[in-house]
């Protein structure tokens, strides 16, 4: 009898499996065990935090007569779907450019294999904006997080928040990681891709929710994903964000009309010859802001 066909792992499953191996190695390394990280946190060695929600609600247009959408600007050198994007990108220089252009959040990819990022990128991006004080952008560790260990890493390396991807986390694990992140002072960005995941996230009580227009199992992009889910957060105290695929002002305009509070833009900004000019075009913030 022929054996049953084995289903090939999705891209998300491949990344998850590799990151599990990476974290196992890190935890087994003297000086970076979970016990070590706990000690560093207890000693107060993590950089000071700024709260995510107030920072997300503030952008160069906030005090104008026509407040606009906030920007989460991403540092991303490569991706599984696009391949190499900007391999020579300098993380702290990019972070500084984003901050000067008005970004509320700087998202830093720290996954090394598919996205060519690192925790050093996170630390240096944070250092590049630290002199801006409480008005600096919040730093997001963009990563495939499945353990408290990765959240502790993020806190120690300068993140103000972390990404929790509902598609890769069982309900109990999502709840545990959310609670641990909040216990460290970091309100997470919780990512969803469909109505079922959105309902789980609302039940969780997440305050910052991002809809990924990209399905992480096949990496196909559907810009209507955010639009279909926006009604589920109407009337709730939720900062609602659109993630992935945003490349032009028309994308932002549609989401603004629908009540989206912030957009995450990565590839378009990484490819831009003039980052600040593209940000001005995308966000259409009033010139008198």
What end-to-end distance do the CA atoms of the chain give, in Å?
71
Q: Is residue 104 a contact partner of residue 55, using CB atoms and an 8 Å limit?
A: yes
Its CATH architecture, for the domain 12-283, is Alpha-Beta Barrel (3.20)
Res. 162: pLDDT tops 50: yes
Res. 248: pLDDT tops 60: yes
Q: What's the rounded mean pLDDT across residues 86-92? A: 96
The predicted pLDDT at position 289 comes to: 45
Residues in CB range of 152: below 8 A, 6 or more apart: 34, 37, 38, 41, 184
Residues in CB range of 260: below 8 A, 6 or more apart: 69, 226, 230, 240, 241, 242
DSSP state of 214: B
pLDDT tens for each residue of 7-40 = 888 888 999 999 999 999 999 999 999 999 999 9
Average pLDDT across the chain, whole number: 94
Residues in CB range of 176: below 8 A, 6 or more apart: 148
**Angle, vertex CA 133, rays to CA 127 and CA 136, nearest 5:** 70
- Among 4-18, 79-93, 145-159, which stretch is predicted with the lowest mean pLDDT? 4-18
Q: What CA–CA distance (Å, rounded) separates 211 from 223? A: 10
Domain borders along the chain are 12-283
Res. 217: pLDDT tops 80: no
């Amino acid at each position: 009898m022929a054996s049953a066909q084995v289903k090939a792992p999705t891209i998300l499953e491949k990344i998850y499996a590799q990151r599990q191996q990476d974290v196992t190695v890190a935890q087994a390394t003297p000086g970076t065990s979970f016990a070590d990280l706990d000690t560093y946190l207890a000693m107060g060695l993590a950089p000071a935090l700024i709260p995510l929600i107030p920072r997300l609600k503030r952008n160069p247009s906030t005090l104008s007569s026509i407040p606009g959408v906030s920007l989460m600007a991403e540092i991303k050198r490569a991706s599984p779907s696009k391949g190499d994007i900007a391999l020579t990108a300098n993380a702290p220089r990019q972070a500084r450019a984003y901050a000067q252009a008005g970004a509320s959040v700087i998202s830093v990819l720290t996954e090394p294999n598919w996205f060519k990022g690192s925790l050093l990128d996170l630390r240096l991006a944070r250092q590049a904006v630290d002199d801006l004080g409480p008005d600096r952008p919040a730093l997001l560790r963009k990563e495939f997080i499945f353990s408290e260990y990765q959240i502790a890493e993020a806190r120690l390396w300068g993140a103000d928040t972390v990404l929790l991807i509902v598609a890769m986390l069982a309900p109990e694990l999502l709840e545990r990681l959310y609670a641990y992140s909040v216990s460290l002072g970091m309100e997470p960005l919780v990512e969803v891709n469909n109505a079922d995941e959105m309902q789980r996230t609302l039940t969780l009580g997440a305050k910052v929710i991002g809809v990924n227009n990209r399905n992480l199992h096949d990496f196909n992009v559907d810009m209507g994903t955010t639009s279909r889910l926006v009604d589920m957060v109407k009337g709730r105290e939720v900062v609602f964000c659109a993630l992935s695929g945003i490349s032009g002002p028309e994308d932002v305009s549609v989401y603004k009309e629908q009540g989206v509070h912030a957009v995450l833009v990565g590839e378009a900004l990484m490819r831009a010859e003039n980052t600040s000019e593209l940000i001005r075009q995308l966000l259409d913030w009033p010139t008198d802001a």
